[in-house]
Structure 1
């Protein structure tokens, strides 16, 4: 297997919904494994069998991996830029399409898509899961 690196997100019980939504927006191949799909003997905690143990979304632009946050009393904050993606597109129209799909799916604009001070197109959307998606392209 070739080396690779992927972004990993830990969401509070919404990983399956998020991955399915992102799959509908960006396409690619989605795989979701729930704790109930795996042997549970020897686990250091009692996971919900329906919780996502591991999920991957391999898109034409790259990979996203993730799982449901454990019920350990810790706060896994999502709605800030600690969980964010930068998606570079070939055209402004392509970026606008992704932005529209995320907003239509319950997201909201963080930074309107427009010409940035550095000359490229740039904008941000917070999806309905609180994850920030930044979009950039050089095409006018």
Structure 2
């Protein structure tokens, strides 16, 4: 029935920058389509031609897909920073998880929860990247 499920984020005009940043952190294949790159006939709204209509980051080794676009609704305030949605990165070793955590932190992020041994036995930590998206890094007891 379901072929795949991907994470989809809508950011307030920073989707291209965020996707490029995540591409630097995780690698993979990045595709960004702006409204200027597609036909706009029949579009129910008039988008900013520079806004991201759709972007996908396909992570290496089939690890997942992150997709997104720029928010087009100026009438609503959709806060990004928070825990309503987050991305969980699970790695084979604690060193790999710590390295990802540190890359997000070192490029303008802030600690949500320090990366350390969690009460349930795994290594775990949360970092908010510079776009306000929460990333949780985890590794089973290593």
The answer as to 2:15 corresponding to 1:15 is yes
User: 1:73-123 CA distances to partner (integer Å, 9 max, x unpaired)?
Assistant: 111210001231011011111011111111111001110011111100000
CA root-mean-square deviation: 1.1
Q: Does 1:116 align with 2:115?
A: no
Q: TM-score, normalised by structure 1?
A: 0.95
C-alpha contact (below 8 Å) 2:35/2:47 kept by paired residues: yes
Deviations 1:17-75 (A, max 9, x none): 00000000000000000000000111111100000000000103210000000043111
Listed as ranges, the matches of 1:32-47 within 5 Å are 32-47=32-47
Q: Which runs of 5+ in 2 are unaligned?
A: none
Q: How does 1:1-140 map to 2 (within 5 A)?
A: 3-60=3-60, 61-140=63-142
Could you list the runs of 5+ residues in structure 1 that have no partner in the other structure? none
The runs of at least 4 aligned residues of structure 1 exceeding 2 Å deviation read none
Distance in 2 separating the partners of 1:51 and 1:96:
33
Cα distance in 1 for residues equivalent to 2:135 and 2:85: 9
Q: In 1, Cα distance between the equivalents of 2:78 and 2:20?
A: 20
